[in-house]
Chains A and B, each alone.
Chain A
Amino acid sequence: MPNVPPLPFERPVVELEETLSKLEAILDPSPDDQDAIRKLRTSIVRKRREIFDNLDAWETVKVARHLERPQTLDYIELVFDEFVELHGDRAFGDDRAIVTGFAKLDEYKVMFVGQHKGRNLKERNECFYGCAHPEGYRKALEKMRMAAKFGMPIICLIDTPGAYPGVGAEERGQAYTIALNLREMSQLNTPIICVVIGEGGSGGALGIGIGDHIAVLQFAYYSVISPEGCAGILWKHVKHADAAAKALRFTSKDLLAFGIVDEVIPEPLGGAHRDHRGMAATLKGSLVKALRQLMAVPADKLLDRRYEKFRKIGVFEEQAVEVAVDEVTAAERASEDAANESNNKTDGPAKPTPAARGSAARARSSV
């Protein structure tokens, strides 16, 4: 990908590259020039690696949203040997923001479900920049149910800023269709692999995101809300999106640390947009490996594993107290809670580990 416009934080690399192209333009380079060219090439790689190893959350978002970043239709071409698109949601219409169909991945026949943002203006308008409507989620569910019926594994590629916030979407039950997908996907008796390839935008992403193996590309992100949305609500202005991005802890590293994803798939140097083929090859390798492992899981274990996977997510405290709170006044309660809270503080910030679950001591309360 030679003509990828640089991102703002790539400035130091761009400067080196400019120097390099000046040297390369010399018709009859001296041995010294050739030496300098070699050294520059090395330092460009080193600099780029250094920058991309240390991206902050907001910079990561910029990479995840890069216009040249490979998208679902690119991966269909580069990863799968065949794709037979299936369009029908059986109720309203064909949502171009979610593409579904039969696909061949190595020796496997799979059901493919992917969110597509659009690579040019025409595509982007057709698929609302990757924001699906209820019909898209319904189409995905229809095809996934069929896949389960025929024992076909499912591969979901997630890339959306969020489900479409429009009048029609609300009229046609955006909330219900996403909810239904969450419930049904947890029970589809066939392996499901979900990979966040760019933006994992809240409920719109989760709507095709319940599975047995959850992966995220290195510079993708997966968040409860967009950084802009969060900044607008909590900071009262979108200009604080960078602060919100950091606070939300949604980069691939964080997701792995919180136990949300099973795998971070590395991207080519400088991000997936610099090498579509390289990225596709890595993704394909990961998909095949995960699929092979999941196909070996006995059918009767698969759903229990999937249930447990989501069941254990959550961080909270559980105090084994046996108190009758009937007579506790509001004030006492509040101060009690405040005390508990300060106890927590002395332990430092809670570690992102799944909370211990055991038999709960019950506090009785009659109202």
Chain B
Amino acid sequence: MASAPNPPVTAEQAGPKKRGVPEGLWIRCPDCKATIFRKQVEGLLGLCPDCGHHFYVSSRDRIRQLLDEDSFEEWDAELRPCDPLGFADKRPYAQRLVEEQKKTGLSEACVSGRGYLRGRPLALGITDSAFIMGSMGSVVGEKLTRAIERATQSKLPMVIVSGSGGGARMHEGILSLMQMGKVCAALARFHEAGGLFVSVLTNPTMGGVAASFASLGDVVLAEPKALIGFAGPRVVEATVKQTLPEGFQTSEFLLKHGFVDRIVRRPDLRGELSRIIDYCCR
């Protein structure tokens, strides 16, 4: 499906930052072009101290930022992707998977589990845009579906933080497309059972991820200036043969057009989520 124009340029792409390498001590903000001290960005939850630009954060850091300390219990960590199509473009998908796993320290693009937010239990799913653009293949679809099913059973609120430039993952072909249907069917049951689903859109949320679970929150939040949409901006530009309007497919654009409820800066996200859960859940 559609894909984001660029992989996220990040402070932490090199891998889990606990074992961070000394290189990249200084990073450049793509927004205000300031050269900033990386440690300072990390202290600000991945925000540029000068302009507030939201850098990529890994799923690990996201969990740390959102949940009560040490409260996260991961689900389905043993799920591993395989290569059902025997897919190969310039390099085989099987090899790409190994490389992505090495690069990110993740086994797949999704982390899911249960945790607490200000003492309240919830189910959390995250798609991490560092792993093959956060695209959804069988494992991402399965992990999210299971998480939603467990949330339905245990009557937990469900929060999914999406960061997926890749939409449905091409390398698993039609199986990836069908994950959209699978996750949405699970959400339908969750919805019917009265569960609260808060969808948090981060940069980027595109294609088959946007066109499935990410858009279906009871409440939809977005981080500022994230790229969010169905078709990739370059595809749209090539189709309509005109310059795209200023701010096209940003969080602000979606808010204006009625598809996002609130734009939330990352430092406020934990509080916002807590408040929404407070309003909707006993």
Contact of A178 among B173, B211, B228 (CB under 8 A): B211
The contact string, 1 if C-beta is below 8 Å from chain A, for chain B 17-40, is 001000000000000000000000
Interface residues of A in 169-186 (CB under 8 A from B): 169-176, 178-180, 182-184, 186
Contact of A349 among B86, B170, B179, B228 (CB under 8 A): B86
Q: In the bound complex, do residue A258 and residue B182 qualify as a contact, i.e. CB atoms below 8 Å apart?
A: no
Interface residues of A in 215-249 (CB under 8 A from B): 222-225, 229-230, 233-235, 243-244, 247-249
A362 to B216, CA, bound (A): 28
The answer to whether A360 has its CB under 8 Å from any CB of chain B is yes
Q: In the bound complex, do residue A169 and residue B189 qualify as a contact, i.e. CB atoms below 8 Å apart?
A: no
The answer to whether B46 has its CB under 8 Å from any CB of chain A is no
A202 to B72, CA, bound (A): 35
The answer to whether B116 has its CB under 8 Å from any CB of chain A is no
Q: In the bound complex, do residue A167 and residue B178 qualify as a contact, i.e. CB atoms below 8 Å apart?
A: no
Q: Given that A172-B257, A317-B80 are contacting pairs, would A307 and B185 also be in contact in the complex, using a CB cutoff of 8 Å?
A: yes
A residues within 8 A CB of B87?
A: 247-249
The answer to whether A206 has its CB under 8 Å from any CB of chain B is yes
Interface residues of B in 191-212 (CB under 8 A from A): 191-192, 207-208, 210-212
B residues within 8 A CB of A172?
A: 257
The answer to whether B127 has its CB under 8 Å from any CB of chain A is no
The answer to whether B174 has its CB under 8 Å from any CB of chain A is yes
Q: In the bound complex, do residue B236 and residue A170 qualify as a contact, i.e. CB atoms below 8 Å apart?
A: yes
Question: Taking CB as reference atom, which chain A residue is nearest B235?
Answer: A165
A residues within 8 A CB of B242?
A: 167
The answer to whether A338 has its CB under 8 Å from any CB of chain B is yes
User: Size class of A's contact patch?
Assistant: 35 or more
Interface residues of A in 287-331 (CB under 8 A from B): 306-307, 310-311, 313-321, 325, 329-331
Q: In the bound complex, do residue B80 and residue A203 qualify as a contact, i.e. CB atoms below 8 Å apart?
A: no
A222 to B150, CA, bound (A): 31
Closest CB of chain B to A64's CB: distance in Å? 14
B residues within 8 A CB of A320?
A: 78
Contact of A337 among B74, B101, B231 (CB under 8 A): B101
The answer to whether B15 has its CB under 8 Å from any CB of chain A is yes
Q: In the bound complex, do residue B170 and residue A174 qualify as a contact, i.e. CB atoms below 8 Å apart?
A: no
A residues within 8 A CB of B94?
A: 341, 344-345
Contact of A247 among B1, B3, B88, B174 (CB under 8 A): B88
The answer to whether B251 has its CB under 8 Å from any CB of chain A is no
The answer to whether A255 has its CB under 8 Å from any CB of chain B is yes
Closest CB of chain A to B101's CB: distance in Å? 4
Interface residues of A in 241-284 (CB under 8 A from B): 243-244, 247-250, 254-255, 258, 260
The answer to whether A166 has its CB under 8 Å from any CB of chain B is yes
A25 to B142, CA, bound (A): 64
Q: In the bound complex, do residue B1 and residue A225 qualify as a contact, i.e. CB atoms below 8 Å apart?
A: yes
The answer to whether B226 has its CB under 8 Å from any CB of chain A is no
A331 to B87, CA, bound (A): 26
Q: Given that A170-B230, A310-B181, A362-B75 are contacting pairs, would A337 and B236 also be in contact in the complex, using a CB cutoff of 8 Å?
A: no
Interface residues of A (CB under 8 A from B): 163-167, 169-176, 178-180, 182-184, 186-187, 202-203, 206-207, 209-210, 222-225, 229-230, 233-235, 243-244, 247-250, 254-255, 258, 260, 306-307, 310-311, 313-321, 325, 329-331, 333-334, 337-338, 340-341, 344-345, 349-350, 352, 355, 360-367
- Other A-B pairs, 6, CB within 8 Å; known A310-B178, A350-B83: A165-B231, A182-B180, A183-B185, A248-B173, A255-B174, A321-B78
25 contacts between A and B (CB under 8 A): A163-B211, A165-B235, A166-B240, A173-B258, A175-B230, A179-B216, A182-B181, A183-B185, A184-B188, A202-B168, A202-B208, A203-B168, A203-B211, A209-B181, A224-B1, A225-B168, A244-B89, A248-B85, A258-B175, A307-B185, A316-B80, A317-B79, A317-B82, A337-B107, A355-B138
- Name the 6 nearest CB pairs between A and B, nearest first: A165-B231, A314-B138, A182-B184, A186-B185, A175-B210, A234-B89
Interface residues of B (CB under 8 A from A): 1-3, 15-16, 19, 60, 63-64, 70, 72-90, 94, 97-98, 101-102, 105, 107, 113, 138-139, 141-142, 145-146, 167-170, 172-182, 184-189, 191-192, 207-208, 210-216, 228-232, 235-236, 239-240, 242, 244-245, 248-249, 253, 257-259
